[in-house]
Structure 1
Amino acid sequence: MEWDDIYQLIKCQREAELVNLFEQQLIKIGIKSFGYFQFNAQHPSELNVISTYPQQWVDEYIAKNYLQLDTTIPLSVVSNSPVPWSYAKQCSNGKAQFGFWQQVKAHKLNAGASIPLSNNKLQIAGLGCAIDNEAETKWLEQYGKQLEITSTVFHQKLCALKSCPNVAIQQLKLTHREIECGKWLSNGCTYNEVGKKLNISERTARFHLENIKLKLGAKNKEQVISKLVAHQIITP
C-alpha cells in the first residue's frame, strides 16, 4: 500500500484535482476505467456519477435506467468486500438483466469489480472498476485491499468537498482506547494481537473495534483504516 498516494487524496482541495489524482492511482493498479456512483435510495433517479467509462455507455446507463438491472448494486449494498463482475453476472435473473450484461460486454467492459463504499441504507455509494485482466479473483487478491482503502478515502474526501448530507466525514466521538485499537489495527494486527499490545482481552479489543465500525459506518477493516486516515485520526 502506497500511503503517500492516500495522503495526496486527502490533501486535495478541489473536486477536479481529486478525481484526476484518483484516476491516476487506479491506472497504476490496472484499472482502465471506473464509474463512481452515489444516490439516495428513496430518490434513485437523482444519480450522481463520476466516470471515465465511455460516455456513450454512461448516457445509455442513465437514459435506460440500468440502475434497476445492474446486479452489482444490490450485491454492493449487502457485501463487505469487492464484488467481481463475473459473480454479479451469475446472479442475474431474467432476460432484462442478462441483456444488461450483454450491453456491458458490447462496450468492451468485459471484466471488473464493484466496491461498496457506504454502510448507510439510504445513501448508497459504490465504485465500478473495469480491468483488462479477466482473472478477476486473482487480480482482487493482489489489489483488492489497496483498492478498498483508496476508493473509500476518495469517497470520503469527495463527500467532504461536496458537503454531502449523511455521508461526509463528521466529527467523530472516539474514545482514547478506540483510537489506540484503530492504530494497532492499521499496523496489521489481529484482534488477538491488538489485545496483547494493549494488555486487554481479545474480546475487549473486538468490542472496541466493532464500536469504531459502527461510529464510522464502516463495513470492514479496510474501511475502518481508510476512514481513520481520511479523518487524520491515525497515521499508518
Structure 2
Amino acid sequence: MTKSFDFGNRPPQDELSSLVAKEVQRVLAQYDELIKERSSISSRIETGNIAAANLLSARQQAIHDDLTALASKFVHGLGAEAARRFGVSAREAAPLMVRTEGAHGCAVKVRDQQSDCLRIEDWAGQVAGPTYLEEHFHIPRSTLHWWQRHNDVVALRKGARKHVFPLAQFIDGRPAPGIRQVLSLISNPRAAWLWLTSPSPKLDGRIPIEMLRQDLAAEVILAARDFSST
C-alpha cells in the first residue's frame, strides 16, 4: 500500500523544503558519527603508526566523498520529485532548487568547518568552539571572550574570523594559571600552543601545559622566557 501524507493546506514548495531539511540533517548526522568514530580510533593509534593513520585518513576522505555525492544527487533530483509528487512545473520547481542548493551549500560548509577542526586537532589536540565550551564546560561566551581579549586562553584561528580553543588548557572550567604570562612571551598563539604541548629541554623533557595543570607555573614561565629570548 502506498503511504499517504496529509499536507493540509501547506504550499507544496514549503512541504518539500521540509523534506529537504530533514534529509540534510540525516546526512550531517552521518558525518557526526564519522567524527566520533575518528576520535575513538585516533585515541587508539600508537604514536608513529603511520600506516594506521593513513588508513584512517583514506577512509575518512572516502566517506566525505560519499556524503557529498549523496547530497548532490538529492539536490538534482528535486525538480523531478516536485513535479511527480506535487504536480508543479519545472518553472515552479526552480526557486525550490535554488533554496535547496543553498541548503546543500550549508551542509558542505559545515562539513568543511568540521574538517578544519580535524586538521587543527592533528597537531593541537582536541579543540572546541564557544558553543561546545558553554554547553559542556559551562563557560559563558562573554567570559570566554574576556579571557581571549586578555590572553588568558590560547585561541587558534579557524577560517577567516572564528577561533577554537584547545581543551587541555582548561581545568574545572577555567584556564590553567600561567597561560597569560606564556602568551606575553610567545605572542603567536600557534607557536605558544606548540611550545606548551611539546617536551621542553629547559624543563627536563616535561610538557609545559601539563606542568601548568599541576600548578607549576613559575617553572614554565621561566622556560618560556628562555625560549622566547632564543
Structure having greater relative contact order (Cα 8 Å, sep ≥ 6)? 1
Same fold (TM over 0.5): no
Task: Return the TM-score normalized by structure 1.
Answer: 0.28
> Which structure shows the higher helix fraction?
2
Task: Return the TM-score normalized by structure 2.
Answer: 0.29
